[in-house]
Amino acid sequence: MPLSNVQPDHYDAILSTKIASVLEKFRALNAPRPEVFSSPAQGFRLRAEFRLWHEGDDLNYVMFRSDDRKTPVVINDFPIACNAIQTLMPALLDGLKASHVLRHKIFQTEFLCTLSGDMLVTLIYHRTLGDDWHNEAALLATELDVQLIGRSRKQKRVISRDWVDECLTIDGREYHYRQPEQAFTQPNGHVNQHMISWALKYARPLGGDLLELYCGIGNFTLPLAQAFNNVIATELSKVATAAAELNRQTNKISNVEFARLSAEDMSSALAGDRAFRRLAHLKHALADYSLNTLLVDPPRAGLDEKTLSLAAQFDNIIYISCNPSTLITNLDTLKHTHSIENLAFFDQFPYTHHLECGVILRRRSESTTD
């Protein structure tokens, strides 16, 4: 995204234009009037990454335009990043410039911050990182009061720890999350809290048991667990699944069970096509759960055909989407079995064309099903 797109004084108008570009497609599916959740106009991103550009003895953060991948654009300030990242950026750059060991063949840096102020920086290199790097990196991490990781091909060196700890407040209750490096986390913490609260509001009256696919570190899982008797949540990433289980324990939630399984494999398990050892730890057989609600937060590609077929069997679907186009395509299939009861837009990515959506679907009665 070109930084010239960042226009805080025109934020509301820009968001309205973005919503208008997709709204008619949802209306064509008989969706109700959407609820809209805006973002802070500045300082909203908790993640950022930059290439590091060497020019003699100078070193700068740079980005590249989508239409010109060869010409670096120097980034002197980054107003969409949270204040902690904005403050750290020049201090980190000064620290790298001051150390030949730390700057030698570095080519990228990644920032991961939390609303609660925890900060992790990853430095990525085109060389092997030895003990000399570790010693100087440890000094810099202490000086800047951050967690620091060094990466190169097939190598990872950790100064202290490779995660941050987040605290989100959902309807007056605090939830604590371990967020590991390289596990997906929502980039806009303020909007994320709105997303979870919105989903919880519509989950409360549903009852029964919940199946969640693509659960990540338990972002939605843990707050929504209070609305259901039992929750089965699946995630393919080993790192994210381990973090989700730790987060469950940290928040003292007892009715959630996690399984490291893809959405496709979970569909096969529920259909009885095959048994999976990764489900053997569940306290009941799958058939003994009252899985009447499905929660999905899939990648940009949306739901595949097999998972769509699975979704069609649920009474209720809570669908969170980062891609309106694939969501609309999926809804065009699900409209034959479900009606859209609620719609929401969440501006996770201000000043871009990306728009996060939330949809609550209710299964039609047999007499109204196409």
Residue 130, both tokens: 């030895």
Rounded Cα distance between 108 and 303, Å, is 33
pLDDT for residue 247: 98
Tell me the torsion sign for CA atoms 247, 251, 252, 254: negative
> Residue 257 CB: number of other CB atoms within 10 A?
18
Residue 52, phi-psi category: left (phi > 0), alpha (psi -120 to 50), beta (remainder) = beta
By annotation, the residues acting in catalysis are 322, 356
Q: What are the φ/ψ torsions at residue 190 (nearest 5 degrees)?
A: -65, -45
What is the full DSSP assignment across 137-156? HHHHHHHHT-EEEEEETTEE
Nearest to 224 by CA among 241, 246, 200, 205: 200
Rounded Cα distance between 286 and 271, Å, is 10
Residue 328, both tokens: 């609309």
State the pTM of this model.
0.94
Number of alpha helices (DSSP H) and beta strands (DSSP E) in the chain: 10, 17
Rounded Cα distance between 101 and 356, Å, is 42
C-alpha distances (whole Å) from 81 to each of 43, 112, 349 are 5, 10, 11
> Residue type for 222, please?
L
pLDDT in tens, 323-354: 999 999 999 999 999 999 999 999 999 999 99
Whether 60 contacts 74, CB under 8 Å: yes
Whether 146 contacts 119, CB under 8 Å: yes
Buried b (16+ CB within 10 A) or exposed e, 135-144: ebbeebbeeb
pLDDT in tens, 185-241: 999 999 999 999 999 999 999 999 999 999 999 999 999 999 999 999 999 999 999
pLDDT for residue 69: 82
pLDDT for residue 368: 59
Rounded Cα distance between 286 and 270, Å, is 7
> Residue type for 367, please?
S
| Partners of 36 in beta bridges | 345
pLDDT for residue 369: 56
Q: In order of start, what are the domains of the chain with their CATH numbers? A: 3-41+188-363 (3.40.50.150), 47-164 (2.40.50.1070)
pLDDT < 70 stretches in the chain: 1, 366-370
Find the helix or strand (DSSP H, E) in which 363 lies: strand 356-363
Q: What is the 3-state secondary structure (H, E, C) of 212-242?
A: EECCCCCCCHHHHHHHCCEEEEECCCHHHHH
